[in-house]
Structure 1
């Protein structure tokens, strides 16, 4: 007898079908995962005319990874424009715990989906499950998404085309709360605190230079960050994410990271990680880079920790120009 889908899955599918018809689901490591796929307009036209899409073996697939407490909505200005500008297929997805992706309440021994190591493997498996097993991946990651992207490049360099790191959180102290904070947030009282604080304060205005510069902040942006907080098992899964959070060792492996083309973008008013610290981290990576390495560093004016939200056009232009320079 076939197993019935969980109530959580049915609920998420019903919400998406009525509110976001462009979104899709795919199962990754047993988790129903919400994602969006953008293909170049020219390819869409060929499909509509029932013609074959040209084979472009040298083009990577672009994967966008959001930050903690974010979701794929943060790439709203980049998904289709990146596909059209580069000719690549572009994927954005909700990482486990966030957005419309399922939040497991139990798992097999050794297969905890809420660890950072699991996040690395999950990103790759998503790409493979979507059929891009023969493609290299151009990663675009913001904050903790940049740490996951970087660790893929360290662990699986043969799979990585390039890295675009936005407001990157690459040191242990910057990837998440300190161990004591994670212990508290991973406890029952910590879960109550999260419930009391997040819906009121998310999205965190301290991560931005000026929220007034973001169109539809009150009417559209806030709801798209807050609504997923009301979905089943959100606070439980966030508590587990904090409980099992062990920062990825990115900078101790910087000599491997520096072999991959890197575009490092930060805002001049990043209050989560000061711009001077970003420069130190970039210089640290560059110090061990091979002579022919392609490493670029860019500071955006009047911008905070989430450049893709606050300076979407500048980020888009920078990524497209960089990808063409590294041979997309």
Structure 2
């Protein structure tokens, strides 16, 4: 897919869109990441699904804002992008912070969301790694978020299971995202909106769980069992509080299942969203690899 840009609320937002008239799947990445994290899933999905992925403000190759954004701000921006693309009904899919954003999008326009898939979603529990918590402190923030080889190596170590061998392309994208001027400050600023020294902010967690407990939309929770960033317990407990929920755990998988186990994600996703497609196309499986 080719990169495209839309000016939304004064910011140039990068996105990719397979287009077509099929049901729309809107994919949102995690903090510090970018739309490329969805490429391996997107290329395995059948062409009966219209896939849209995007770089949220302050991430990837989208513009930087003058103020920090949190999940609620990003959710509003996500709907603005979909409105500009003429999308009315959508299935939402988010990883980590992208999961928190997807939950907020569900809250803002529940009548427009057919399904929501949450991969290792943030704001489902308070626990978060100590380095993230320390990064919210004034003095340590600049030191711990300083761009360079250490920041790149730490990100790779944190988000992937030890058995995962990141490709050269994946490493290049991580390097670009970390080393882009202003990216690490934006990372730290966004982190401070979501986290404090005690962990993920309790009010954000309570809001997410309240939204999920009251939704009638089907919710698919997917979580890597060996995630060192967000404990799998968060997804399990949130699924137990969600009336129309399915929980899938993936063995030997870390914080980014869509990169580490893309075919398993597709195999789990397609039955989940099958009722959004015309009956004659529901039996269509993943595209050949």
TM-score of the two chains, using structure 1 as the length reference: 0.73
What is the distance in 2 between the residues matched to 1:95 and 1:188?
27
Please report how far the alpha carbon of residue 79 of structure 1 lies from its aligned counterpart in structure 2 after TM superposition: 2.0
Q: Which residue of 1 aligns with 2:32?
A: 69
What is the distance in 2 between the residues matched to 1:260 and 1:206?
32
CA contact (8 A) 2:103 2:211 kept: no
What is the distance in 1 between the residues matched to 2:115 and 2:95?
14
Residues 240 and 22 of structure 1: is their aligned pair in 2 closer, same or farther, counting only changes over 3 Å? same
What is the distance in 2 between the residues matched to 1:126 and 1:174?
31
CA contact (8 A) 2:106 2:113 kept: yes
Please report how far the alpha carbon of residue 321 of structure 1 lies from its aligned counterpart in structure 2 after TM superposition: 1.6
Please state if 1:273 is matched with 2:254. Answer: no
Gap regions ≥5 residues in structure 2: 196-200, 279-289
Residues 177 and 91 of structure 1: is their aligned pair in 2 closer, same or farther, counting only changes over 3 Å? farther
Larger Rg: 1
Gap regions ≥5 residues in structure 1: 1-20, 44-55, 107-111
TM-score of the two chains, using structure 2 as the length reference: 0.82
Q: Which residue of 1 aligns with 2:252?
A: 302
Q: Which residue of 2 aligns with 1:144?
A: 97
Q: Deviations over 1:16-57 (max 9, x none)?
A: xxxxx8211111111111111113xxx5xxxxxxxxxxxx5x
Q: Which residue of 2 aligns with 1:203?
A: 155
Q: Which residue of 1 aligns with 2:16?
A: 36
Please report how far the alpha carbon of residue 231 of structure 1 lies from its aligned counterpart in structure 2 after TM superposition: 2.0
What is the distance in 1 between the residues matched to 2:274 and 2:250?
20
CA contact (8 A) 1:140 1:163 kept: yes
Q: Deviations over 1:144-171 (max 9, x none)?
A: 1111111221232111111011112233
Q: Deviations over 1:1-30 (max 9, x none)?
A: xxxxxxxxxxxxxxxxxxxx8211111111
Q: Deviations over 1:56-98 (max 9, x none)?
A: 5xx53210011112111101112243351xx232111111121
* Count of residue pairs brought into register by the alignment: 268
Q: Which residue of 2 aligns with 1:53?
A: none
